[in-house]
Chain A
Amino acid sequence: MNFLAKIVFRNILRNRRRSLMTGSAVAAGALAMLLFGGYVGYIFAGLQTNSVQRTGHLTVFHSGYFQFGPGNPAAYGIDHYQDVMGLIQEDPVLKPMLNVLTPTQSLVGIAGNFSGSVDASKTFLGEGFIPSDRNRMKQWDEFHTGSRPAPDPRLTDADLNRGLVGFGVARMLGLCGPLKLADCPAMPAAKPSGSGSAAAVVDSDLLGLAQRDAGSGAPQTDPQLQLLAATADGAPNVVSLTVAGVERQGVRELDDNFIAMNLGLAQQLVYGRGEHKATGIVLQLKRSEDMPAARARLAVLFKQHGLDLEVKDFGDLNPFYGQVVKMFSGIFLFIAMVMGVIVLFAVVNTMTMNVMERTNEIGTTRAMGVRPAGIRWQFVSEGMMIGVLGTAFGTLAAIAIALTINHAGLTWIPPGNANPVPLKVDIFGKPMLMVGTWIVLVLVATFAALIPANRAARIPVVDALRHI
């Protein structure tokens, strides 16, 4: 063993209890930083996975859609969207990056349930997509979060008329009974409005329009809603939606307005018999790290082909993600700073006591010919060694606790989610967290030791030898 390392190690063992306490402070710092960092890292991965499963990494919109389109989706549809998709699909740069490429159609309108004794309607936010593509998107799990919902069999590409509604929509439109929903209060009986009232006439007209548009289909057993929206030309259009079930949304406002449907039905409602467009083309990539490159390539591609399109990423579409990342990053930084200060003071205190107790020894070795820098380096090395040993112990403890948590089968509901996802502490897939924790704590311990080490190096030899 190197002579210095030998001296440093033996001096650490010389005051076992003191070194143990200081090392424990460092270990506690490492434990807290790694566990919280791993937890936060997993939250970020979970949120990102959830967002990418829903909205993909990138979405192509007609220019201006992001600012103004949601108020009038029909006016901001992408013309010849299938050609644009073909362009993206066949691009040699983008092709290997793509996992799923799929169109979506957003819409707003009024949904009504006029069956039997129920007579209710409300505004809705609709989303049209290709069910099989959506199911494939939900299998994306780059960060191995374990959040892979089973494919939803309720919607199929072939059956255009089936859709899902938010729990709040189901409640407000009286679908709790027909859908046999638990914890869903039945709608109170409405006051009779009279067969000749204006409302009854409108309801009857909507029902008639929807039935005419749907043709003479087979009798339905699932409840139906009539969806009314303005077409791109401004004319009212109505379609019937067979409600196949409920898809809870994590945000109440969305849950009270959400209706998901097949892309074809959404396009039929918005564009009628005119040219069908799409409000967005979703790109889900295989790897998130390809996002900047894909985005840049799309910009080049659109410019080359003179397409008036813009690209937004999942962060733009899910501002909540960015807010959560900022909040947890701030908390992590705060915890890291607190732990750093604790380690700093613990090491300063220990090394100061070591210097005081070994002042005579310092004088002896200085008299033997050790330079001041040698004394400084020895005490700094001791602080560094305490930092290394403490961080190593803390890392081992963090790994043990993380493994226990990860195998405990715990779940949690992320912000904005409706369904629980596995709770894990991801410190194994975060090399930067591990390296960063080591660097920070060992540097803090080393810097803390530098203060008493400098003092030790400056003690006059004669004074040090006189010290008792």
Chain B
Amino acid sequence: MITMPNRVAPASPQPNARGAQPAVRLKQVAKTYQVGAVDVPALKDVSLEVPYHRFSTLIGASGSGKTTLLNLIGCIDVPTRGTVEVCGEDVSELDADGMSDFRARNIGFIFQNFSLVPVLTAYENVEYPLLLVGVRPEERRRRTLEMLDAVGLTAQAGQRPNELSGGQKQRVAIARALVKRPQVVLADEPTANLDSATGASILKLMRQVQAESRTTFIFASHDPQLISHADEIFAIRDGEIVGHRSGAKS
């Protein structure tokens, strides 16, 4: 919602320079919500590591803690206890502005309900994250158009979200999440609001751009299609990781 960059470094350290360090590392993380006078634990001492360049999925029933876990990884929430490291940085120690800058630089989000800015065109929605990290105008334009082309929406660049279909909106959201070349992309039920055919095409697109960009994708989902594509699967139940399956590296 602002035009001026957040005074963050435009480029992040490359993950390759970090050796075998995971993209995300949670140590004994707990999150408790207070509902009135009652404490409701959402996560209980969760520890996990998500490697770089993987297509990882958090699976679990509704209310199991998937979204809370994604929120903590995405630095939009803070744990009650434990440490969250993303791209090698302990984000628990960042203040509000520091977290904003960290997100602007390192994390892309894809939401279930697309969450595009309605007053901006598809092009402007994709361009927005680049403004936040201070990319120069000509570079911004080149990358935005490239990204729109990658998701097949060059023709719709000038259209506003209310003029796009659900699948097109989610493509714009994917382009927006990836255009700044983040280390980690988080997606919360990205296909839940789409019909199965559209969901499949979106999934195919995400898999393709992930493979090309070698970005670390972490999903929260119970879409069987999506789960079948995952390199890493973390099963979560009642706020605890109850299973982990690691597949072949993509």
Residues on A facing B (Cβ under 8 Å): 2-4, 6-7, 10-11, 14, 360-375, 377-378, 460-462, 465
- Residue ID in chain B nearest A11 by CB atoms: B119
Judging by beta carbons under 8 Å apart, are A462 and B6 in contact? no
Known: A11-B119, A360-B115, A370-B132. A462 touches B76 (CB 8 A): yes
Q: Give B77 Cβ to nearest chain A Cβ, in Å.
A: 5
Nearest first, the 7 A-B pairs at minimum CB distance are A369-B104, A374-B2, A3-B3, A10-B119, A461-B76, A364-B115, A4-B3
CB within 8 A of B117: which of A364, A372, A374, A462? A364
Interface pairs (25), CB distance under 8 Å: A3-B3, A3-B131, A4-B2, A6-B120, A360-B113, A363-B115, A364-B117, A365-B1, A365-B117, A366-B100, A368-B103, A368-B129, A368-B132, A369-B103, A370-B2, A371-B2, A371-B100, A372-B96, A373-B2, A375-B1, A375-B2, A460-B77, A461-B77, A462-B71, A465-B111
Judging by beta carbons under 8 Å apart, are A362 and B1 in contact? yes
CB within 8 A of B128: which of A368, A377, A465? A368
Residues on B facing A (Cβ under 8 Å): 1-4, 6, 8, 71, 74, 76-77, 96-97, 100-105, 107, 109, 111, 113, 115-120, 124, 128-129, 131-133, 176
Q: Give A3 Cβ to nearest chain B Cβ, in Å.
A: 4
CA distance A466 to B1 in the complex (A): 18
Residues of A within 8 A of B101 (CB): 369, 371
Residues of B within 8 A of A7 (CB): 1, 117, 119-120
Residues of B within 8 A of A11 (CB): 119
Residues of A within 8 A of B71 (CB): 462
Q: Give A330 Cβ to nearest chain B Cβ, in Å.
A: 43
Residues of B within 8 A of A367 (CB): 74, 76, 103, 109
Q: Give B149 Cβ to nearest chain A Cβ, in Å.
A: 21
Known: A368-B103, A371-B6, A371-B97. A462 touches B109 (CB 8 A): no
Residues of B within 8 A of A374 (CB): 1-2, 4, 6
Known: A10-B119, A369-B105, A372-B100. A465 touches B3 (CB 8 A): no
- Residue ID in chain A nearest B6 by CB atoms: A371
Residues of B within 8 A of A361 (CB): 115, 117-118
CA distance A364 to B4 in the complex (A): 17
CA distance A377 to B115 in the complex (A): 21
CA distance A37 to B131 in the complex (A): 45
Known: A10-B119, A465-B76. A372 touches B97 (CB 8 A): yes
Q: Give B69 Cβ to nearest chain A Cβ, in Å.
A: 12
Residues of B within 8 A of A2 (CB): 3
CA distance A14 to B120 in the complex (A): 11
- Residue ID in chain B nearest A466 by CB atoms: B67
Q: Give A323 Cβ to nearest chain B Cβ, in Å.
A: 53
Residues of B within 8 A of A465 (CB): 76, 111, 115
CA distance A364 to B77 in the complex (A): 13
CA distance A461 to B132 in the complex (A): 17
CA distance A375 to B118 in the complex (A): 16
Judging by beta carbons under 8 Å apart, are B115 and A370 in contact? no
Name, among A361, A367, A462, the residue most crowded by chain B CB atoms within 10 Å (CB to CB): A367
CA distance A375 to B176 in the complex (A): 19
Known: A360-B115, A365-B117. 8 other contacts (CB 8 A): A14-B119, A363-B115, A368-B104, A369-B133, A372-B97, A373-B97, A374-B1, A462-B71
Q: Give B103 Cβ to nearest chain A Cβ, in Å.
A: 4
Residues of B within 8 A of A6 (CB): 120, 124
- Residue ID in chain B nearest A462 by CB atoms: B77
Residues of A within 8 A of B131 (CB): 3
CA distance A3 to B131 in the complex (A): 9
CB within 8 A of A366: which of B76, B113, B124, B128? B76
Q: Give A450 Cβ to nearest chain B Cβ, in Å.
A: 16
Residues of A within 8 A of B129 (CB): 368-369
Q: Give B169 Cβ to nearest chain A Cβ, in Å.
A: 12
CA distance A146 to B100 in the complex (A): 64
Residues of A within 8 A of B103 (CB): 367-369
Residues of A within 8 A of B124 (CB): 3, 6
Residues of B within 8 A of A378 (CB): 1-2
Known: A369-B6, A374-B1. A364 touches B111 (CB 8 A): yes
CA distance A14 to B162 in the complex (A): 12
Residues of A within 8 A of B1 (CB): 4, 7, 362, 365, 370, 374-375, 378
Q: Give B47 Cβ to nearest chain A Cβ, in Å.
A: 22
CA distance A114 to B24 in the complex (A): 116
CA distance A6 to B133 in the complex (A): 19
Residues of A within 8 A of B4 (CB): 4, 374
Q: Give B8 Cβ to nearest chain A Cβ, in Å.
A: 8
- Residue ID in chain A nearest B109 by CB atoms: A367
Residues of B within 8 A of A360 (CB): 113, 115
CA distance A461 to B104 in the complex (A): 14
CA distance A59 to B103 in the complex (A): 75
CA distance A2 to B137 in the complex (A): 12
Residues of B within 8 A of A369 (CB): 6, 8, 100-105, 107, 129, 132-133
Q: Give A452 Cβ to nearest chain B Cβ, in Å.
A: 14
Known: A14-B118, A361-B115, A462-B71. A370 touches B100 (CB 8 A): yes
CA distance A456 to B113 in the complex (A): 21
- Residue ID in chain B nearest A14 by CB atoms: B119
Q: Give B78 Cβ to nearest chain A Cβ, in Å.
A: 9
Residues of A within 8 A of B107 (CB): 369
Residues of B within 8 A of A365 (CB): 1, 117, 128
CA distance A10 to B111 in the complex (A): 23
Residues of B within 8 A of A14 (CB): 118-119
Residues of B within 8 A of A364 (CB): 109, 111, 115-117
- Residue ID in chain A nearest B182 by CB atoms: A369
- Residue ID in chain B nearest A360 by CB atoms: B115
Residues of A within 8 A of B133 (CB): 369
CA distance A362 to B133 in the complex (A): 18
Q: Give B2 Cβ to nearest chain A Cβ, in Å.
A: 3
Q: Give A468 Cβ to nearest chain B Cβ, in Å.
A: 9
